[in-house]
């Protein structure tokens, strides 16, 4: 697992999973449909990604499907990091 | 402009002629249909299960449940009858007494739905709470209600444990999935599948006035208030479900509201089951593909949803809907916030059916204004009063009904329908303030047109309606002040294309703290964990000072108006208390 996946995974574990909640979590675990991150909390997760990686994710690209696993989120970050770098 | 229906027009709606119903209405219609005799006990739990079995529907499916991981469980009405007896017996043995408050702090798992029915049979007052609530929100509501027991899951248990010492009256913590978990003193495991079955239970002889459900609702000032419902609410919930949601014998119904909120109990449990209807529950977060797949596989025919969800689906486009066979749908309704006309038109395009807006509140217990099946709807309108409900537009100052159409005023309702709450828990003053000149004043502003349709304008107070949930600014402001960096705080509604409104906070910082995106995110997460994701400010403005009246009260209106592009008004007048 690379640094990007590790960082996002650690953030989700820290911020969205209760201490003592022993549910397994890996990069493929469904986050939105699995009830770990709800649509309101997606706003703070998006804010974290934008702040941490100095990117801007348009709302149109930040739907529940795109945030449904660490793997998908990492792809989103890579996509917008590349766009930002080109700009 | 009217919109008529397509597939639905082919069927006769339960309500029949609206005008005829208005002329001949009597709540006794519900009593007769449900077989009430004067003086009979009216135990809600019995009516949702045993009565349906007695009518010959014991083998019919009551609940089709599907988890986020694809797990499935199905229960017939006979299962519901016997398992709710098992729940009632379990809590009776535990020592829970009729009238004591029992909190259901659960995701949308079968134990929540069956537990609700069982606790009503016992005569306990059911206090459902949204399982995403943070510990502060949970604590406030348990402390206010003097809750004696809480039913929860292992994933929420850490939250309960952290606040337990602060609620000494909370004698029992019941965990529904405790296998392999080391439980502490006062914690008990309850496994619905493994618990010895209790085929019979002597239901509590509830009268129509016996307290049943306690739902907490937010206001502008002070902590949330416990809205006290009664067993007799059943009559209104039964009939509004039948006439507004139009449930029929072969329907498979889906209400995607969480029972932590009133829609999830009035129309996610009581309404469908009192009508003997099969309902499907999806315990999963939002995803357009997941939802459409659920509707298609479960052959959902009647769907009660919310504008926020509809707008999220709209974002995915009509093509996303067309990938699935949604031909089972025949009636759609919506609640929580005003349904914008675009959503009505879009749903006709996507599903071949319009969403019907319905209006009501935690306090009303049932739908009071609605668009009805089989009748033309005006997109953007709340519809017309339910038969038996007297609704008026009241002058905001005199509270006298205004006769002219198009004038903005407050929606007032004449008390007396069966599901109106009987008070706020231990707060008679707060309840008394809701009434003026014999009208229950909803706090919602609206107009009425010449055809008698009501049109929502906005709230008359500072309560924030986000995604159909009411958030009290006081709660958010109090939580913000607990963050070490925050000196002063204010919370207002900000417009949002999906959620209608979201929380925006304004804060001043203590010395030694500097504004920035990291601090903003930290404060957002702080509020989310203490209160709930719904109450989390989606934007925080760091300001030097907050506008106040001469006596120091924060002027939320001055902060709110620019967010909505409205004039702030005369500040010198506003500063007077």
Task: Give dist(CA B295, CA B325) in Å, integer.
Answer: 8
The CATH number of whichever domain residue A19 belongs to comes to 1.10.1200.10
| Average pLDDT along chain B | 94
Q: Do residue B517 and residue A51 have CB atoms under 8 angstroms apart?
A: yes
Task: Give dist(CA B160, CA B174) in Å, integer.
Answer: 11
Bridge partners of B370, per DSSP, are: B358, B384
Q: Does B10 have pLDDT greater than 70?
A: no
Residue B453 domain flag: no
The DSSP letter of residue A85 is H
- Nearest alpha-carbon partner for B190 in B172, B178, B182: B178
* Six-digit token string for B326: 């949604």
Q: Do residue A33 and residue B68 have CB atoms under 8 angstroms apart?
A: yes
pLDDT tens for B334-390 read 999 889 999 999 999 999 999 999 999 999 999 999 999 988 889 999 999 999 999
Task: Give dist(CA B11, CA B31) in Å, integer.
Answer: 26
pLDDT band at A86 (very low <50, low <70, confident <90, very high): low
- Nearest alpha-carbon partner for B382 in B323, B451, B282: B451
Domain boundary among B384, B409, B444: B444
Sequence-separated (6 or more) residues with CB below 8 Å from residue B44: B117, B120, B206, B212, B231, B233, B234, B270
The structure tokens 């134990």 sit at B111
Confidence (pLDDT) at B337:
87
Q: Please state the domain count of chain B.
A: 2
Q: Do residue A35 and residue B156 have CB atoms under 8 angstroms apart?
A: no
Confidence (pLDDT) at B431:
96
Q: Do residue A39 and residue B467 have CB atoms under 8 angstroms apart?
A: yes
Strands B391-394 and B409-413: antiparallel
Q: Residue B285 is nearest to which of A33, A44, A50, comparing CB atoms?
A: A33
The CATH number of whichever domain residue B535 belongs to comes to 3.30.300.30
Q: Residue A34 is nearest to which of B68, B518, B524, comparing CB atoms?
A: B68
Same domain, B472 and B427: no
Q: Do residue B132 and residue A18 have CB atoms under 8 angstroms apart?
A: no
Same domain, B12 and B108: yes
- Taking a C-beta distance cutoff of 8 angstroms, is the pair B357, B383 a contact? yes
Please name the residue of chain B whose CA is at the shortest distance from the CA of residue A41.
B533
Residue B449 domain flag: no
Confidence (pLDDT) at B220:
75
Number of Cβ atoms within 10 Å of the Cβ of B73: 15
pLDDT band at B38 (very low <50, low <70, confident <90, very high): confident
Same domain, B404 and B512: no
* Six-digit token string for B315: 């974002």
Same domain, B538 and B439: no
Residue B179 domain flag: yes
- Taking a C-beta distance cutoff of 8 angstroms, is the pair B65, B72 a contact? yes
Same domain, B61 and B98: yes
Q: Does B267 have pLDDT greater than 70?
A: yes
Task: Give dist(CA B150, CA B160) in Å, integer.
Answer: 9
**pTM of the predicted structure, to 2 decimals:** 0.92
Domain boundary among B387, B411, B444: B444
Work out the minimum CA distance from B529 to partner chain A, whole angstroms. 8
The structure tokens 């002219």 sit at B404
What CA–CA distances, in Å, run from A20 to A14, A77, B18, B74, B106?
11, 29, 54, 30, 17
Task: Give dist(CA A71, CA A77) in Å, integer.
Answer: 10
Buried b (16+ CB within 10 A) or exposed e, B228-246: bbbbbbbbbbbbbbbbbbb
- Nearest alpha-carbon partner for B103 in B198, B176, B20, B38: B176
Same domain, B335 and B289: yes
Confidence (pLDDT) at A20:
73
* Six-digit token string for B387: 């038969």
Residue A31: domain span: 3-86
What CA–CA distances, in Å, run from B297 to A8, B108, B291?
34, 19, 10
Beta strands in B362-452 (DSSP E): 369-370, 384-385, 391-394, 409-413, 435-436, 439-448
Confidence (pLDDT) at B2:
63
Same domain, B510 and B386: no
Same domain, B479 and B440: no
Residue B304 domain flag: yes
- Nearest alpha-carbon partner for B287 in A53, A65, A18, A3: A65
Q: Residue B285 is nearest to which of A15, A34, A44, comparing CB atoms?
A: A34
Q: Please state the domain count of chain A.
A: 1
Task: Give dist(CA B114, CA B259) in Å, integer.
Answer: 12
Residue B521: domain span: 464-574
Q: Cα dihedral angle (B224, B225, B230, B233), rounded to 10 degrees?
A: -60
Same domain, B439 and B514: no
- Taking a C-beta distance cutoff of 8 angstroms, is the pair B236, B30 a contact? yes
Greatest extent of chain A over all pairs of C-alpha atoms, in Å = 43
Q: Does B137 have pLDDT greater than 60?
A: yes
Beta strands in B218-372 (DSSP E): 225-230, 252-255, 278-283, 302-305, 331-334, 355-359, 369-370
Task: Give dist(CA B373, CA B11) in Å, integer.
Answer: 10
pLDDT tens for B66-112 read 999 889 999 999 999 999 999 999 999 999 999 999 999 999 999 99
Domain boundary among B411, B444, B477: B444
Work out the minimum CA distance from A22 to partner chain B, whole angstroms. 7
The CATH number of whichever domain residue B438 belongs to comes to 3.40.50.12780
């Amino acid at each position: 697992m690379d640094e990007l996946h590790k960082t996002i995974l650690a953030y989700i574990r820290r911020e969205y999973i209760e201490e003592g909640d022993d549910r397994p979590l890996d990069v493929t675990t469904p986050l939105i449909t699995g009830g770990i991150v709800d649509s309101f909390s997606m706003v703070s997760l998006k804010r974290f990604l934008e702040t941490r990686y100095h990117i801007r994710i348009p709302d149109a690209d930040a739907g529940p499907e795109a945030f449904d696993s660490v793997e998908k989120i990492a792809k989103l970050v890579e996509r917008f990091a590349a766009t930002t770098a080109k700009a | 402009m009217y919109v008529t229906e397509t597939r639905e027009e082919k069927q006769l709606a339960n309500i029949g002629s609206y005008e005829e119903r208005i002329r001949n209405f009597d709540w006794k219609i519900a009593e007769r249909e449900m077989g009430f005799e004067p003086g009979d006990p009216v135990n809600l739990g019995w009516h949702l299960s045993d009565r349906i079995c007695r009518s010959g529907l014991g083998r019919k499916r009551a609940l089709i449940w599907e988890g986020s991981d694809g797990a499935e469980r199905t229960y017939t009405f006979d299962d519901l009858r016997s398992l709710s007896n098992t729940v009632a017996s379990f809590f009776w043995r535990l020592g829970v007494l009729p009238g004591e408050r029992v909190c259901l702090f659960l995701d949308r798992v079968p134990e929540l739905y069956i537990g609700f029915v069982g606790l009503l049979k016992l005569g306990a007052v059911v206090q459902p709470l949204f399982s995403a609530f943070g510990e502060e929100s949970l604590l406030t509501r348990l402390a206010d209600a003097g809750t004696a027991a809480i039913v929860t899951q292992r994933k929420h248990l850490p939250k309960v444990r952290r606040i337990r010492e602060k609620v000494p009256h909370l004698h029992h913590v019941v965990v529904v999935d405790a296998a392999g978990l080391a439980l502490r003193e006062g914690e008990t495991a309850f496994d619905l599948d493994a618990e010895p079955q209790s085929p019979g239970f002597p239901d509590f002889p509830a009268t129509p006035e016996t307290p049943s459900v306690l739902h907490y609702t937010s206001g502008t000032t002070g902590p949330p208030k416990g809205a006290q419902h009664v067993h007799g609410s059943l009559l209104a919930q039964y009939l509004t479900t039948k006439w507004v949601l139009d449930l029929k014998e072969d329907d498979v119904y889906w209400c995607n509201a969480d029972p932590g909120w009133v829609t999830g109990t009035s129309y996610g449990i009581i309404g469908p089951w009192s009508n003997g209807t099969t309902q499907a529950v999806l315990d999963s977060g939002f995803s357009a593909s997941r939802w459409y797949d659920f509707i298609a596989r479960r052959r959902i025919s009647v769907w009660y949803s919310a504008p926020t969800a509809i707008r999220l689906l709209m974002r995915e486009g009509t093509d996303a809907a067309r990938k699935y066979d949604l031909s089972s749908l025949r009636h759609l309704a919506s609640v929580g916030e005003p349904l914008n006309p675009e959503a009505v038109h879009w749903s006709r395009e996507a599903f071949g059916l319009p969403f019907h807006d319905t209006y009501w509140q935690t306090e009303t217990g049932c739908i009071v204004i609605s668009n009805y099946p089989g009748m033309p709807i005006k997109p953007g309108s709340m519809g017309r009063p339910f038969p038996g409900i007297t609704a008026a537009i009241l002058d905001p100052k005199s509270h006298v009904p205004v006769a002219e159409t198009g004038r903005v005023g407050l929606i007032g309702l004449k008390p007396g329908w069966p599901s109106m709450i009987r008070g706020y828990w231990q707060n008679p003053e707060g309840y008394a303030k809701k009434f003026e000149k014999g009208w229950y004043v909803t706090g919602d502003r609206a107009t009425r047109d010449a055809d008698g349709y009501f049109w929502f304008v906005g709230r008359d107070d500072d309560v924030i309606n986000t995604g159909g949930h009411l958030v009290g600014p006081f709660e958010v402001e109090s939580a913000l002040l607990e963050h070490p960096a925050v000196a002063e705080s204010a919370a207002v509604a900000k417009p949002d294309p999906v959620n209608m409104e979201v929380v925006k906070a304004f804060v001043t910082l203590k010395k030694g703290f500097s504004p920035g995106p990291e601090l903003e995110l930290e404060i957002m997460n702080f509020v989310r964990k203490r209160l709930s994701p719904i109450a989390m400010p989606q934007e925080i403005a760091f300001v030097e000072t907050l506008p106040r009246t001469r006596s120091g009260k924060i002027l939320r209106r001055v902060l709110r108006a620019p967010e909505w592009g409205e004039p702030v008004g005369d500040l010198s007048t506003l500063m007077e208390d």
